[in-house]
Chains A and B, each alone.
Chain A
Amino acid sequence: MSSSLAITSPTPRQSAEPSTWFVPLAALATIAGLYAALIYSPADRVERDVMRLLYVHVPAAFSMHIAYGLCFMASVMYLWRRNERWNQVALVGAEVATMFCTVVLLTGPVWAKVSWGTWWVWDARLTSTLLLWLIFVGYLMLRSYGGQGGQLRGGVDGERVARHAAVLAIVGFADVPIVHYSARWFRTLHPQAKILTEGSPGQGLNMSMLGAFSVCMMASLLLFGALVTTRLRLERAQLRLDALEIAQARRPPPMTRPLPRDSAL
């Protein structure tokens, strides 16, 4: 990994970029979060230790919502402005959101097995979350196999893929409010959000649990920031590489160049 980090190592111009300080902050916050979740926080009286999964499941879901929001906003901006930068932000947002969504979809069933006695039920919250994950896996497949988009990489076709991907992201984002409000709108096994409810934050948690939850939430948000900024730098490096490859391909090979006029004599 050390060589791979060279691409993100600070050069004089890049040292002020957020990814340079986001990464160590996120690492420290993650360690603090693990301590808070596994040692500092007391176990729940009813659910016992499995309740500690709350400290991963809920912050991951929160970061997932923000990342999908970022992807949606960047896709709208790309369709409006046709700026390659927004196209990159949309891709990075979708990738990070899908990663957090995978964490949510894996930790949820493990918790459900103990609390509900089953790994999975086809209720509104779980089904809409799985649907959201599938939509954005499809989005990432479109971006991966259809070309990355933009003028440099795929020319007209690449731009068409970027446009289609932006439309898919906007349509797919319609599922995000459904995921959020599904536990309120429909009768589901999944409990309604009690911690981040408007008007009564922290309902159902004692002070130690609330403290641990805040640390884990902060760690998750910092991890989100670190992943997005680092991944954006990687995208920029990829664009630089594409530009160099195109310049190299357009350069005539040395042997086929026309000789100077004098040498013909």
Chain B
Amino acid sequence: MSPLKALFAGFALAWVVVWGYIWIVGRRASAIERRLQVLERASDQQDEHDR
């Protein structure tokens, strides 16, 4: 493996790991946000119904 190829491979692997982690965290955040919105809407509707 030439030094330049190794450099490219090393940086690419590091990039994939860091961005992969950020992507996973982002997906988890959007799932939580969706669920929170659904629950908050349901909670508001129930409050209105109770009144």
Which B residue's beta carbon lies closest to that of A44? B3
- Give CA–CA (A102, B15) in the complex, Å: 11
Contacts of B32 in A (CB 8 A): 7, 234, 237-238, 241
Interface residues of B in 1-46 (CB under 8 A from A): 1-4, 6-7, 9-11, 13-14, 17-18, 21-23, 25-30, 32-33, 35-36, 39-40, 42-43, 46
Other-chain contact of B30, A3, A110, A114, A240 (Cβ < 8 Å): A3
For residue A32, CB closer than 8 A to chain B, the reply is: no
Which partner residue on chain B sits nearest A34 by CB separation? Answer: B11
| Main secondary structure on A side of the interface with B | helix
How distant is B50 from chain A, measured CB to nearest CB, in Å? 8
Quick check: A99 and B33 within 8 Å, CB to CB? no
Q: Which residues from A are CB-within-8-Å of B21?
A: 99, 227
Chain B residue at smallest Cβ distance from A107: B10
Which of chain B's residues have a CB closer than 8 A to the CB of A50? 3-4, 6-7, 10
Chain B, Cβ-Cβ closest to A230: B25
Flag if A110 contacts B43 (CB, 8 Å): no
Cβ-defined contact, A103 with B14, below 8 A: yes
Closest A-chain residue to B1, C-beta based?
A113
- Asked whether B6 lies within 8 Å of A110 as measured between CB atoms, the reply is yes
Interface size for B (C-beta < 8 A) is: 33
Inter-chain contact A113/B14, CB cutoff 8 Å = no
Contacts of B17 in A (CB 8 A): 99, 102-103, 106
Tell me if A113 and B39 are in contact (CB < 8 A).
Answer: no
CA separation between A22 and B32, bound complex, in Å? 22
**A3 x B33 contact (CB < 8 A):** yes
Query: Complex Cα distance A38/B33, Å?
Result: 38
* Contact residues, A74-117 vs B (CB, 8 A): 99, 102-103, 106-107, 110-111, 113-114
Contact, CB under 8 Å: A248 / B42:
yes
Sorted nearest first, the 8 A-B pairs with minimum C-beta distance are A4-B30, A50-B3, A4-B29, A4-B26, A48-B3, A106-B13, A110-B10, A53-B10
Interface residues of A (CB under 8 A from B): 1, 3-8, 38, 47-53, 56-57, 60, 99, 102-103, 106-107, 110-111, 113-114, 223, 227, 230-231, 234, 237-238, 240-241, 244-245, 247-248, 251, 254
What are 12 of the A-B contact pairs (CB < 8 Å)?
Answer: A4-B28, A4-B30, A5-B26, A7-B32, A49-B4, A50-B3, A50-B6, A56-B11, A99-B18, A103-B18, A114-B3, A241-B32
Instruction: Given contacts A111-B6, A254-B46, list 17 more A-B pairs with CB under 8 A.
Output: A1-B30, A4-B28, A7-B29, A49-B3, A50-B6, A50-B10, A53-B11, A106-B10, A110-B9, A113-B6, A114-B6, A223-B18, A230-B25, A237-B33, A244-B36, A247-B43, A248-B42
